[in-house]
Structure 1
Amino acid sequence: MNLREALRRAAALLLPLLCAALLAACSNSELHKQEAYVFGTRVDVTVYGETRETAEAAMAEVLREFDRLHRAYHAWQPSELTALNDAIARGEVATVSTELATMLTDAARLADLGDNLFNPAMGALIEMWGFQADEFVPRRPDAAALQAVLEAAPRMSDLVISGNKVESRNPAVKLDLGGYAKGYALDRAAAILRAKGIENALINIGGNILALGKKGDSPWRIGLQHPREPQPLATLPLYDGEAIGTSGDYQRYFELDGKRYSHLLDPRSGGPAEATQSLTVLVTPREAAGTLSDAASKPPFIAGDNWRPYTRRYGIDHALRVAANGHIEVTRELRARLQFPSGSAPVTVVD
């Protein structure tokens, strides 16, 4: 393993480890944690202030739900989603679960808000770049095949959803909910924990985080991963019902001929977005905050220097961007919450 790969892996593990360190001030009798590997990433659930039996039962149910969602909506292993994609390719009407129909309707709404920069219908493009695989194979897609997908312009608005029936006006639609499912899973986890009477918990799915209640007398405190260094970019308190979502070019990528190719693809060009290293949004308490934190980080990431109007479209005032050159821009509302380590790069505050 070369140094760059070692740093990348260290950075990928940093956020959960930082959270664990920040939580260590609690006594073991008050803090309970379970971990797993789902959605292609590390997930952990932490519960505060409950008996071990109560906490473990609730966390185990959450992890079972994560596993169900992973299997049901996997983009390239046999699942309900791949069955729907097969039906679309054949020009057929598919009968789907109520859950999937609801997810697709919501994803279409979020895609429209973001000018389709968040576009779950572009699964064919993701596959061409090799990101629909457990192991990345560094390769550039065939130029003609890529152009054909761009000309077909599959969008979520091509779907016709009527109850549990789904069809597409465009056979090029190939669904991939990778930019939506982790956020949806956060909301499902929160619903399960609340139903079990759990009032204080922190749910982390590969850096997508949702908070319930608090940690004793203090809010939960989390770290934002630095996109290039194995250290936190900043830390901040996270309050009851708030969710954090980050899109970064360090999460899934490969390097070829000295150039980084990330999984965050621009549907307009067909290639990876290159103007941003990471884009973080903090969603204040509202319905489906977790889902929004996942989907709403994609359009501003892809938009590059024009990122701020897209966070506004989603009603998000707390956001931070690290540009391709490492420059940090942060909204005034989020800057007031952040703690940067000494010696950090200069920060530009935007309205």
Structure 2
Amino acid sequence: MKKQILIIFCFIFSLFSCRSPKKEISQTKFLMDTICEIKIYCDDENYGQEIIDKVFKKIEKVDKQFGYTSESEITKINLAAGKNKVKVSSSTFELISKSIEVSELTNGAFDITTGVLSELWGFENFSKKTSFVVPKEEKIKKSLSLVGYDKILLDRNNQVVFLKKPMMKINLGGIAKGYALKVAKEMLEEYNIKKFLLNFGGDIYVRNNLDKKPWRVAVQHPRDKQRYICVLDLFNTSIATSGDYERYFFYEGKRYHHIFDPHTGYPANNGIISVSVVIDDPVMADAISTAMFVLGEKEAISLAKKLNAEYIIVKEENNKIKVITSQKIKKYISEKYF
């Protein structure tokens, strides 16, 4: 679900050093309906490739678990909506539980039950779509009756999930990539990889305990793919961006994107066109960037302060770009274009 953050790498090696630098090994795959990249540094290239292969195999399982295939636990939950409780794995249960916690924290701005809206508006399997229309008002209102995280029942003792109403759908697109990042980062840490970058469709986690060189992450300008808003120097943290510029369509001259306001049934429309969040937990970064996009400037900033998250909010006002940042994130900005 989301955005594209571009990565800029700047590695400067001394010409006079006689030490062999660690080898850079990278690989990309198309998973979770987006491009996923893993880049690591280690001594042996073959060993490094083996590690990356193992991580990607795990992420493939995550994709199947939370996607829309017949074997997905999310598909099984959705098919049983209003009928039966579904026993799920501990990881699925915990991620749904975490999603509900974020919903409560954000007064419903983040809500995984907007799956029915994604389907109605044509954003499911977006990469395969060729045409779009704005749904009729009555259909949107009907779909809204199926939206609401309070309609998800969890039974922790039996590890089961139940959706109260038939035709309800949950969609973990706003948090699953963050979860996948967490899984991948923990695996790489277990393999003692001290320097790596994970970029799963613009949700990013970077680590560097190897040298003093930061990873340089460029935040995309939401209205010009050839430009950046800024470049951040980051070491051991995550950054996620939610924006209206990756999955959208125009209808009668108006832009409609994939980030829905669960209270209206329409794409969020408060002037915000991009939100980037920097926080250590990649799961929270993913979910909170979505919530802040929906909340609007004032409430978004209040939420970020509550969570000690740093942010870059981009708004469009009268066809002009306005950028609002947290105070602390300014120390990470190495290049500024606003």
Of 212, 217, 225, which aligns to 1:222?
Answer: 217
Deviation digits for residues 242-261 of structure 1 (CA, Å, limit 9, x no counterpart): 10010000121111111111
Q: Does 1:279 align with 2:272?
A: no
Of 141, 151, 154, which aligns to 1:160?
Answer: 154
Q: Distance in 1 between matches of 2:312 and 2:70?
A: 34
Kept after mapping to 1: 8 A contact 2:78/2:167:
no
Q: Distance in 1 between matches of 2:37 and 2:55?
A: 10
Partner of 2:36: 43
Partner of 1:72: 65
Superposition deviation, residue 324 in structure 1 = 2.1
Partner of 1:116: 108
User: Structure 1 or 2: larger strand share?
Assistant: 2
Check 1:316–1:117 CA distance in 2 against 1; reply closer, same or farther (3 A cut).
Answer: same
Partner of 1:140: 134
Check 1:151–1:169 CA distance in 2 against 1; reply closer, same or farther (3 A cut).
Answer: closer
Please, which runs of 5 or more residues in structure 2 have no aligned partner? 15-19
Q: Distance in 2 between matches of 1:265 and 1:316?
A: 25
Superposition deviation, residue 171 in structure 1 = 3.7
More displaced stretch, 140-149 vs 244-253: 140-149
Of 10, 19, 36, which aligns to 1:22?
Answer: 10
Amino acid at match of 2:142: A
Amino acid at match of 1:67: E
Q: Distance in 1 between matches of 2:106 and 2:119?
A: 22
Q: Distance in 1 between matches of 2:212 and 2:43?
A: 15
Partner of 1:31: 24
Deviation digits for residues 14-48 of structure 1 (CA, Å, limit 9, x no counterpart): 71xx43x4358698852111111111111111112
Partner of 1:296: helix, strand, or coil?
helix
Q: Does 1:261 align with 2:272?
A: no
Of 305, 328, 337, which aligns to 2:323?
Answer: 328
Superposition deviation, residue 142 in structure 1 = 2.8
Of 164, 170, 180, which aligns to 1:169?
Answer: 164
Partner of 1:5: none
Q: Distance in 2 between matches of 1:295 and 1:87?
A: 25
Amino acid at match of 1:296: I
Per the normalisation by structure 1, the TM-score is: 0.85
Superposition deviation, residue 278 in structure 1 = 0.3
1:167-316 equivalences under 5 Å are 167-171=162-166, 173-214=168-209, 216-229=211-224, 230-240=226-236, 242-274=237-269, 275-284=271-280, 289-306=281-298, 307-313=300-306, 315-316=307-308
Partner of 1:67: helix, strand, or coil?
helix
Superposition deviation, residue 236 in structure 1 = 1.2
Kept after mapping to 1: 8 A contact 2:274/2:315:
yes
Amino acid at match of 1:213: N
Please, which runs of 5 or more residues in structure 1 have no aligned partner? 1-10, 346-351
Amino acid at match of 1:126: S
Q: Does 1:106 align with 2:94?
A: no
Partner of 1:166: helix, strand, or coil?
strand
- Which protein has greater RCO, CA pairs closer than 8 Å, 6+ apart? 2
Kept after mapping to 1: 8 A contact 2:70/2:76:
no
Kept after mapping to 2: 8 A contact 1:85/1:174:
yes
Q: Does 1:84 align with 2:84?
A: no
Partner of 2:62: helix, strand, or coil?
helix
Partner of 1:72: helix, strand, or coil?
helix
Partner of 2:229: helix, strand, or coil?
strand
Per the normalisation by structure 2, the TM-score is: 0.88
Q: Distance in 1 between matches of 2:181 and 2:43?
A: 20
Partner of 2:144: 150
Q: Distance in 1 between matches of 2:267 and 2:70?
A: 23
More displaced stretch, 178-187 vs 188-197: 188-197
Check 1:237–1:302 CA distance in 2 against 1; reply closer, same or farther (3 A cut).
Answer: same
Q: Does 1:58 align with 2:51?
A: yes
Partner of 2:250: helix, strand, or coil?
strand
Kept after mapping to 1: 8 A contact 2:175/2:286:
yes
